[in-house]
Structure 1
């Protein structure tokens, strides 16, 4: 028992750091699920939250579309920008993430097979 207490005393800072990291990681995931259930939210907030997945996807995909070969590129040489245009149309028409991602990947494969970039 004394060894255990001695170890805890010697590693107090490490344990506090791990505990704080755990709290900081878990709270942002647990609190929204706990307190923001869809049935108790006002309609305006529910409508606003509908845009969150789209905003997150845009933040993830945007840099990959506009930065090509290590630089900002809006030219027709940018494979991902050229493929994103028909992929955007697929997304708009189907409103389905899986179909949109499959179309984008398929178009990149097709473009590379055809010799583009």
Structure 2
């Protein structure tokens, strides 16, 4: 293997590992208040919502709340299954099944 390729691989490894390891190493030694921990528990939901909302609601640059928006139609049962079952597996299977069903209709 060429030395440059190995250097790039090692560099990419460090750039990926260090931002994940440093906060863990630093924050594991600090007592974080319950309020901050409670606030941090909402971060994954907020990030997921920010990623999903444009994909589900926008078609061709405009808001799409109609029956032609199969992504939104498939997401609705997924939200219900996820809320009641708390199972990622069941939610993903529901989404896949709904997309297959809607695309066949």
How far has the Cα of 1:28 moved from its partner?
3.3
Distance in 2 (alpha carbons) for counterparts of 1:110 and 1:103: 10
Provide the secondary structure at the position in 1 that maps to 2:65.
coil
**CA RMSD, 1 decimal:** 2.6
The aligned counterpart of 2:96 is: 105
Structure 1 outlier segments of 4+, above 3 Å:
25-28
The aligned counterpart of 1:75 is: 66
Provide the secondary structure at the position in 1 that maps to 2:51.
helix
The aligned counterpart of 1:61 is: 52
After superposition, the C-alpha distances for 1:13-55 in whole angstroms (9 at most, x for unaligned) are: xxxxxx8xx66x6553233211233x93222222221112211
Specify whether residues 97 and 50 from structure 1 end up closer, same or farther in structure 2 by C-alpha distance, changes over 3 A only: farther
Specify whether residues 102 and 35 from structure 1 end up closer, same or farther in structure 2 by C-alpha distance, changes over 3 A only: farther
Distance in 2 (alpha carbons) for counterparts of 1:58 and 1:98: 19
The partner residue of 1:42 within 33, 36, 58 is 33
* Structure 2 gap segments, 5+ residues each: 1-10
TM-score, normalised relative to structure 1: 0.63
Specify whether residues 36 and 83 from structure 1 end up closer, same or farther in structure 2 by C-alpha distance, changes over 3 A only: same
Distance in 2 (alpha carbons) for counterparts of 1:99 and 1:35: 36
Larger radius of gyration: 1
